[in-house]
Amino acid sequence: MKTKPFLWLLPIILIAISKPASAQCSEYYGVTSGGGEYHNGTIFKTDGHGDNLETLYSFPLINEGIHPSGNLCAATNGKYYGVTSGVNLPGTTEYSGDNIYEWDPADNIYTMKFRFTSDVEHGKEPRGSIIQAKNGKLYGTTRYGGLDDDGVIFEWDPETNTFRKLFEFNRAETGFSPFAGLMEAANGKLYGTTFYGGSYDDGVLFEWDPASDTYTEKFSFNGVETGSHPGGSLIQASNGKFFGLASNGGTYQHGVLFEWDLTTNIYKKLYEFQGYYPDMTLRKETNGKLFGTMGDVFFEWDPATESLTQRTIPLDTGDFNTNTGNILHSLTEVPGGKFYGFAISGVSEDCAVLFEWDPATNVYHKKIDFNAVEKGKNPFYLAQADNNRLIGFTLHGGNNNSGVIFEYDLTTHTYTKKIDFNVCESGSNPRGSLIQVNNEKLYGTTYSGGKFGWGVIFECDIFTGSFTKIADFSGKENGSNPYGSMILLNNGKVVGMTKTGGDDNMGVIFEQDTATGALSKKFDFTSAENIGQPSSSLILADNGKLYGITNGGEYNKGLLFEWDPSTGSFTRKLDFNGSINGSGPGISLMKADNGKLIGITGYGGEHNKGVIFEWDPVTDNYEKKLDLESYSATPFSPLIQDNKGKFYGIMTGVGEYFYGTIFEWNTATNIITNRKTVIELWDGDFPVNGSLMLGSNGKIYGSTKIGGESDQGTVFEWDPITNNYIIKYSFGPATGSNPYRTLTETERIINVQACNRYISPSGKYTWTSTGVYKDTISSFAGCDSVITIKLTMQAADATVTQNGEILKANVSLAQYQWIDCALGNSPIAGETRQTFSPSVSGEYAVIISQNGCIDTSACYSIVKSGITTSTFEHNLTLHPNPIGESFRIDLGNTYSSVVITLSELEGRIIQSEYRLSARIIEMKTDASPGLYLVTVTTGNQKAVIRVVKQ
């Protein structure tokens, strides 16, 4: 028998996605658990025929950036870019961690954009600031690296994600070890300094022309006369001259403030520091002056008068363990003339605060204390993001002691930690299948990595290729090392199992809420009941319950269990016992068309080669369907079912050359047939744990764990009708290696909200009610794209309630525009509230805008009531109006021979009364509800009052 090399079992899943907008066949998505750029697995896709494989994401080797340095560069795309410095990998002398990263403040997503993987090709330790030039590209320097290990100038294009090494420093010719980064001058050229090198080995000031890729040394520092070792970025003032700081040199050997004239190439030492070394952060005030700090002293340089003033900031001695040697850093001016910055204890860098200082009043206020985990420690960078926010980062601290990016709100004076820099933060070595969640998102798990090293749940956008970590497994709290595939429940949550973790370290059932991202433990497997360490996936039955397989059981040969997600109850259903019902059911169950669950064991049965069994969730009945015979060898794959009722699976270690076979199980005859035997190593080998998927084209796709051109696995296509077997792709180290896992086909889902009606993407259908619909778009590629549309029909509530002369729209929190129906539905200026009381009689309606929909109410008649005419000498009132069964008239004085009539608007009198002498008149009426006129006459005085009868 052939001897096979020992390899870890590493997973794959392929997912078919229909993309109707491009009118193409399905695409298949999958993961490998090895290979890729960092040898920790990949996410990849192929077209609907298994061709044109493209690697979308490589899981990182060690980290996605730790210990940020330099600055945060606010790019024109609204995102921030920065660099992280490296670290020696644990237990090795290998150095890793130099990265360019992107942080999007809009959605708080951190992305490692480029890794400095080669000291010679990329440089090493990019500790200086990076800038975005007018051409949109980012520029920076590294302290070391390049051919002579003296540092490089690099360019990175955020649009194309391409890196280019522009220039290599050479200590014998150019200066070397740039610390400060670059600045772009008004002439479009880049300028910077090196810490060492030049004519006196005290550093140089240089120019880089990106248009011609030309480096020019402009000035050499020489120590006492000019200062030495410039370590901060240059600033170009409004007069066109450059200003900067040298960290040493000058008469007192504490550094200098210098000026360099670009036009004349003349260097001028402006000020020599003494007592303190200046912090290398030099900034420009809104008034055009330059400022910086040295120790706890604020200094300000006026280019117009060439004078320097100093002020000691009155730090609160209670802020630190000691008030000796406190250092100010990253002082930043904010609107209103106040300054914010860091005060760091000279005794302990763990002691640091963010403070506010008002130079007008010399008042100091501590705002926050930095600490190890919650807010980070060793704050290094602070800058103004906008009028309301400061953005900064710390070198250490946070959840991973690798630094944090934070935000400080100047209005509410609140601190918010935005992201933690990390080690292995994105996870590594995925060993489960991908599932489709929320339309265009794929969810999966990694076996290791993440914040705690025990795996993560991640999300991949199938149309943008973007990767996002969703949650971390933390061990006892929610499990560790997820192994099988997750499953999506009808409530939108996903569940799965971990191999370890939980209270007894035997694994858990976990649930992840896709709406909130929350990850929680639902059930602990226990060694006390001899159940746990599952290495398969859950399956959702038609009764809404989940079924799965674990190791252990009464006979220590495996257990089938049921878990109810609605109640959280766990029930043991079947203990496998060996020869009778099988042994080692470590393969995931599948649901057949009849709703029953089909499983397969690796051992046991009559021939100890495993069995195929059926479990009925309705009757809790187990039935052994078939004993696998000696020629079949050990199965390691869940079965799949085609549209004709036949089942297919794979066997390992069988066939003429023991490379594996694809078999068919015909339930009508209960016969297994080996349909395809792999006879060449190039065609793949060892298809462990399965990877079979029935494509929409009727062909079966799968993978092998090893074999192929690089002996690291393959993707294959097999046609059950023609028995034609084709290798579609051979994996290798660069694109991923050693795939295995169940294959899954999903569909393209569109979530749509529409007003009143929706026309399907194909144009064939029009729907007017909420529901789930299917549409098919014909494709020129030879297949159709089937889309599921989850349609939510919206409408604006345009009903109105009339209360006398007041109209009120029934819906709240909408947009309103009242209109005059008699004037062609013209809008009434200023009438945009929920209620409306017209000033004159007429016909009125309202236009409602709600849920993105617009509708218009019916027209309502308003007839204004009250006194229309009156010649009485005194104020006459009628109360109430609208009237009921009675009303009162106050004439304002006593009159004689008073006649009161109640008439319809057309003039017909329906009630008349006479008073010989009266001031207060009480009058009853049994008139029907409606609009009437009350007329009061006495002598030559008359009043007409319009009333509403309720």
What would the pLDDT profile of 607-648 be if each residue is shown by its tens digit?
888 899 999 999 999 999 988 875 445 555 678 888 788 898
In sequence order, the 6+-apart residues with CB closer than 8 A to the CB of 23 are 777, 778, 779, 780, 781, 785
- Give alpha helix (H) positions in 365-431: none
Q: For residues 562 and 546, is the Cβ–Cβ distance under 8 A?
A: yes
Categorise residue 911: left if φ over 0, alpha if ψ from -120 to 50, beta otherwise: beta
Q: What is the average per-residue pLDDT within 830-851?
A: 89
Higher pLDDT, 425 or 725: 725
DSSP state of 928: P
DSSP state of 822: G
Q: For residues 61 and 40, is the Cβ–Cβ distance under 8 A?
A: yes
Place of tokens 């047939």: 673
In sequence order, the 6+-apart residues with CB closer than 8 A to the CB of 22 are none
Buried b / exposed e over 910-939, threshold 16 CB at 10 Å, is eeeeebeebeebebebeeeeebbbbbbbbe
In the chain, the N- to C-terminal Cα span, in Å, equals 101
**At residue 12, does pLDDT exceed 60?**
no
In this prediction, residue 33 carries a pLDDT of 62
Q: Classify 387 as helix, strand or coil.
A: coil
Torsion of CA 164, 169, 173, 176, to 10 degrees: 160
| Maximal CA-CA distance, the chain | 130
In this prediction, residue 166 carries a pLDDT of 96
Q: What is the average per-residue pLDDT within 909-929?
A: 92
Q: What is the average per-residue pLDDT within 287-304?
A: 92
The highest-confidence range among 158-167, 386-395, 667-676, 735-744, by mean pLDDT, is 158-167
Nearest alpha carbon to residue 676 among 627, 739, 721: 721
- Distance of alpha carbon 771 from alpha carbon 788, whole angstroms: 10
Categorise residue 781: left if φ over 0, alpha if ψ from -120 to 50, beta otherwise: alpha
Q: What is the average per-residue pLDDT within 369-397?
A: 86
**Lowest-pLDDT choice from 15-24, 439-448, 742-751:** 15-24
Point out which residues pair with 624 in neighbouring strands. 613
In this prediction, residue 440 carries a pLDDT of 64
In this prediction, residue 48 carries a pLDDT of 60
Higher pLDDT, 742 or 538: 538
Higher pLDDT, 682 or 849: 849
* Angle, CA of 689, 695 and 697, to the nearest 5°: 155
Which two structure tokens, joined as six digits, stand for 757? 């009606």
Nearest alpha carbon to residue 480 among 531, 513, 514, 446: 446
Q: What is the average per-residue pLDDT within 840-852?
A: 88
Confidence of residue 67 (pLDDT cuts 50, 70, 90): confident
In sequence order, the 6+-apart residues with CB closer than 8 A to the CB of 794 are 753, 754, 755, 851, 852, 853
0.75 exceeded by pTM: no
**Lowest-pLDDT choice from 26-30, 53-57, 284-288, 922-926:** 26-30
**Lowest-pLDDT choice from 761-775, 801-815, 879-893:** 761-775
**At residue 934, does pLDDT exceed 70?**
yes
Express each pLDDT in 169-191 by its tens digit: 998 889 999 988 899 999 999 99
DSSP state of 589: P
In this prediction, residue 750 carries a pLDDT of 75
Express each pLDDT in 16-36 by its tens digit: 333 333 333 456 666 776 666
**At residue 744, does pLDDT exceed 50?**
no
DSSP state of 223: B
pLDDT > 70: percent of the chain? 81
- Distance of alpha carbon 318 from alpha carbon 683, whole angstroms: 73
**At residue 784, does pLDDT exceed 90?**
no
Confidence of residue 662 (pLDDT cuts 50, 70, 90): confident
- Distance of alpha carbon 329 from alpha carbon 660, whole angstroms: 66
Which two structure tokens, joined as six digits, stand for 5? 């090399």
Confidence of residue 276 (pLDDT cuts 50, 70, 90): confident
- Distance of alpha carbon 797 from alpha carbon 813, whole angstroms: 11
Nearest alpha carbon to residue 574 among 526, 522, 531: 531
Buried b / exposed e over 533-572, threshold 16 CB at 10 Å, is bbbbbbbbbeeebbbbbbbbbebebbbbbbbebeeeebee
DSSP state of 675: E
Q: For residues 628 and 609, is the Cβ–Cβ distance under 8 A?
A: yes
**At residue 582, does pLDDT exceed 80?**
yes
- H/E element, 121: helix 119-122
In sequence order, the 6+-apart residues with CB closer than 8 A to the CB of 624 are 580, 581, 582, 605, 611, 612, 613
Q: What is the average per-residue pLDDT within 821-841?
A: 89
Q: What is the average per-residue pLDDT within 406-430?
A: 80
- For the chain, the average pLDDT equals 82
Q: Where are the beta strands (DSSP E) in 185-255?
A: 190-193, 204-209, 214-220, 228-230, 235-236, 242-248
Amino acid letter, residue 120 = V
For the chain, how big is the Rg over CA atoms in Å? Answer: 39
Amino acid letter, residue 418 = K
- H/E element, 292: strand 290-294
Express each pLDDT in 553-562 by its tens digit: 999 999 999 9
Express each pLDDT in 260-272 by its tens digit: 999 999 999 999 9
Express each pLDDT in 339-352 by its tens digit: 999 988 755 455 78
Q: For residues 130 and 113, is the Cβ–Cβ distance under 8 A?
A: no
Higher pLDDT, 522 or 128: 522
Confidence of residue 735 (pLDDT cuts 50, 70, 90): low
**Lowest-pLDDT choice from 49-53, 542-546, 839-843:** 49-53
Place of tokens 């670009």: 262
In this prediction, residue 685 carries a pLDDT of 43
**Number of other residues whose CB lies within 10 A of the CB of residue 26:** 27
Distances (CA, A) of 319 to 25, 50, 295, 372, 410: 65, 63, 15, 16, 20
Q: Write phi, then psi, for 319 (nearest 5 degrees).
A: -75, -20
In this prediction, residue 425 carries a pLDDT of 58
- Distance of alpha carbon 647 from alpha carbon 666, whole angstroms: 7
Q: What is the average per-residue pLDDT within 908-913?
A: 92
Express each pLDDT in 115-170 by its tens digit: 887 888 999 989 888 999 999 999 999 999 999 999 999 999 999 999 999 999 99
In this prediction, residue 133 carries a pLDDT of 96
- Distance of alpha carbon 236 from alpha carbon 134, whole angstroms: 16
* Angle, CA of 759, 762 and 766, to the nearest 5°: 25
Pairing of strands 611-616, 621-627: antiparallel
Express each pLDDT in 859-894 by its tens digit: 998 877 677 788 998 889 888 888 889 999 999 999
Q: For residues 927 and 949, is the Cβ–Cβ distance under 8 A?
A: yes
Pairing of strands 724-730, 714-719: antiparallel
pLDDT > 90: percent of the chain? 40
In this prediction, residue 781 carries a pLDDT of 38
In this prediction, residue 250 carries a pLDDT of 94
In this prediction, residue 836 carries a pLDDT of 92
Q: Write phi, then psi, for 121 (nearest 5 degrees).
A: -80, -30
In this prediction, residue 942 carries a pLDDT of 93
Q: For residues 190 and 182, is the Cβ–Cβ distance under 8 A?
A: yes
